């Protein structure tokens, strides 16, 4: 839902969608208006939902790997908002696909990175499609994206 808000309200890379993850009330107000006006943004977004869920999950799952790729000597588990698995506890699960992971990553880290992928979505007025495969893009620039973020 927040991803779609980013697509329609912050259409290019120059607009920073801080409102999308800092104040959810404004997001829900705009979504309600869209649904009331029946403009169809969210209906068109439904075609991308499987990819969006997999992308969010992959970012969450690989966050540690991408962080260490750009900062090999960094202590990922020591970052505020990152919770490492403690001894005696089983692994964490990613939010959507419930993949086992050794770290619980705060949504406050994931959402801005996930939201950056909005620039890869193109809107022809009838449907939303990817300009570029977001998974290939994550593979290629994920570490650089986290470096800029941190």
pLDDT digits (tens, 9 = 90+) for 13-64: 666 666 655 666 777 777 777 777 666 677 778 889 999 999 999 999 999 9
Q: Name the residue ranges covered by the structural domains of the chain.
A: 2-149
pTM of the model as a whole: 0.79
Distance CA 127, CA 14 (A): 23
Q: What is the pLDDT of residue 88?
A: 76
| Residue 147 φ then ψ, to 5° | -60, -45
Tell me if 3 sits within 8 A of 22, measured CB to CB.
no
Residue 38: CB atoms within 10 A of its CB come to 9
For the chain, the first-to-last Cα distance in angstroms comes to 24
Q: Beta strands 103-105 and 82-84: pairing type?
A: antiparallel
Per-residue pLDDT reduced to its tens digit, 123-136: 887 788 999 999 99
């Amino acid at each position: 839902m927040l991803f779609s808000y980013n697509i329609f309200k912050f259409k290019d890379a120059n607009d920073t969608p801080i409102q999308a993850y800092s104040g959810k009330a404004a997001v829900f107000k705009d979504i309600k208006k869209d649904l009331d006006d029946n403009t169809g943004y969210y209906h068109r977004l439904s075609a991308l939902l499987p990819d969006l869920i997999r992308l969010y999950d992959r970012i969450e799952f690989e966050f540690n790997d991408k962080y260490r790729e750009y900062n090999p000597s960094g202590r990922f588990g020591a970052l505020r908002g990152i919770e490492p698995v403690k001894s005696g506890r089983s692994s964490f699960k990613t939010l959507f696909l419930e993949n086992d992971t050794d770290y619980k990553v705060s949504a406050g880290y994931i959402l801005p990175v996930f939201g950056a992928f909005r620039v890869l979505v193109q809107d022809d007025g009838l449907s939303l499609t990817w300009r570029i495969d977001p998974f290939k893009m994550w593979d290629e620039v994920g570490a650089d994206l986290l470096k800029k973020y941190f």
